[in-house]
Amino acid sequence: MAPRTDSLHRTLPVWGACQKYTLVFTMAVSPPHEALGMATSTAAPSGRPTPPGSTLWRAPYVGIFALVSMLLGIGLAHALMRAIEEALGHDLTYVAQLFIGAGAIVWLWYGVRSRNENFATWTGFFTGIVIWMTWVELYYMYYGRKVFGMMPRTDAGTVTTEPEYLIMTATTGVLMFMLVFYLFDKDTRCNFFVWFQDRLGLREGLGTSTRTARDRNYAIITFMETIYVTWFCYAWNLLVFDPTFVGYGRDALPAEVATVFVSIAWGGFCLSRLLRYRRTSTAVRYGIPTANILWISVEIVSGWGLLTEIWLYPQKYWLQLLGLTGAFVLLAVLIYTAPKKASEIGEW
């Protein structure tokens, strides 16, 4: 499921008697159906000055900042979920996750109603993370541990897979069903799906897209991107850790090494495209799948004992996590307040 990775920038200067207008078309991408990459046409309104140039907010720095912020966001989301569990205990956590998730939906409602692409993109990302953490992971935890009383998978006395992730592995079929839906969606802007549509001769039958950049709801697009890409990468990771498919111990090593290779190669390819972006909102959306794909190798390498997953032990590594939280907040604020094109703040 490769995100759309091409970004085409064309600048056509048109000189008038007293004014110079610059029309910039930016083609990018958005997720699952548009979430893994979004094609967006943006044009500065007539008579409105374009944002001043910046030595910082240009390629490749925009892409680098977006990727680092997304990687930090993934790790800190893990830490936050563990911190909630440790602070409230399992029983209270099961109750709290319902209200935390409901609060995220209210926030998403505000984002969906907004015409500000910048605000909508960040709203979709944060609410997607929260909903995945509460209404997916913690919900599976409730059913796996409390309702079903499932035991974790172990290897030589060591827990390798918790009950909630055993349940999650069983959702892979639903994940693939949704993949088929996105494949046959004529409004998709994901390069992976578009490539298959072209090769399978579907584009003519599906017809042209009925959506323009102004029609797109970036909050729900980014929300679904965050959830679907996270789900996809979890399923990929869990299958690699499943002894039914790869075996135990050293028998699983070839599959793990292959996964690390694919993760770094695929993620690196996406990164090479991300570094070309100049629009911060588009870079954030494209940074979500790029970071998640690269994160798969982090999980595998951590399993080899080469990295310490400090986000899984918030009480022990609270100072380090506090520093990472500060870095994430700083990056997010900088990206959010960076100079924007008129189209990114709802001024068409």
* Predicted confidence (pLDDT) per residue in 102-142, tens digit: 999 999 999 999 989 999 999 999 999 999 999 999 999 99
Task: Identify the residue with better confidence: 60 or 250.
Answer: 60
Token couple for 172: 């892979």
CA distance 304 to 292: 19
Considering the chain, what is the average pLDDT of its residues?
83
pLDDT of residue 216: 82
The pLDDT value given to residue 52: 53
Asked if the structure places residue 37 within a domain, the reply is: yes
Alpha carbon dihedral 286, 197, 233, 31, in 10-degree steps, equals 30
Q: What letters, b where the CB count within 10 A reaches 16 and e where it falls short, cover 42-55? A: bbbeeeeeeeeeee
Question: pLDDT exceeding 90 applies to what percent of the chain?
Answer: 60
- Whether 156 has a pLDDT exceeding 80, the answer reads no
Which of 304, 289, 315, 344 lies closest to 79, judged by CA? 315
- Residue 172's H or E segment, with its range, is helix 172-183
Q: What is the mean pLDDT of residues 170-198?
A: 86
Long-range contacts of 126-130 (CB under 8 A, 24+ apart): 127/219, 127/223, 128/222, 128/223, 128/224, 128/225, 128/226, 128/227, 128/230, 129/73, 129/77, 129/226, 129/230, 130/100, 130/101, 130/103, 130/104
Question: By residue range, what is the domain housing residue 259?
Answer: 8-345
Q: What is the pLDDT of residue 36?
A: 43
- Both tokens assigned to 67: 């990727």
State mean pLDDT over 155-168. 87
pLDDT of residue 6: 39
pLDDT in the model for residue 211 = 67
Report pLDDT for 15.
35
pLDDT reported for residue 346: 73
pTM score, two decimals?
0.81
Higher pLDDT, 182 or 289: 289
CA–CA separation, 59 vs 159, rounded Å? 44
pLDDT of residue 347: 61
Cα–Cα distance, 309 to 147 (Å, whole number): 29
Q: Which of 32-41, 240-249, 268-277 has the lowest mean pLDDT?
A: 32-41
Q: Which of the two residues, 347 and 206, has the higher pLDDT score? A: 206
Instruction: Give the per-residue pLDDT at 129.
Output: 97
Contact present, 292 and 230 (Cβ < 8 Å): yes
Q: Choose among 277, 264, 319: nearest CA to 79.
A: 319
Average pLDDT over residues 173-202: 86
Q: What is the pLDDT of residues 5-34, one digit of tens each?
A: 333 333 333 333 333 333 333 333 344 444
Q: What value does the mean pLDDT take over residues 200-218?
A: 78
Please check whether residue 3 lies inside any domain of the structure. Answer: no
* Res 243: pLDDT: 87
280, 69 Cβ separation under 8 angstroms: no
**pLDDT of amino acid 53:** 56
Cβ–Cβ < 8 Å for 132, 226? yes
Is the distance from CB of 233 to CB of 293 less than 8 angstroms?
Answer: yes
Q: How many domains does the chain have?
A: 1
pLDDT at 213 over 90: no
Query: For the residues 289-312, what does the mean pLDDT come to?
Result: 93
Please state, in angstroms and rounded to a whole number, the distance separating the CA atoms of residues 42 and 23. Answer: 8
Q: Please write the tens of the pLDDT for every residue from 50-97.
A: 455 567 898 899 999 999 999 999 999 999 999 999 999 989 999 999
With respect to residue 2, please indicate whether it lies within any of the assigned structural domains.
Answer: no
Q: What is the pLDDT of residue 162?
A: 92
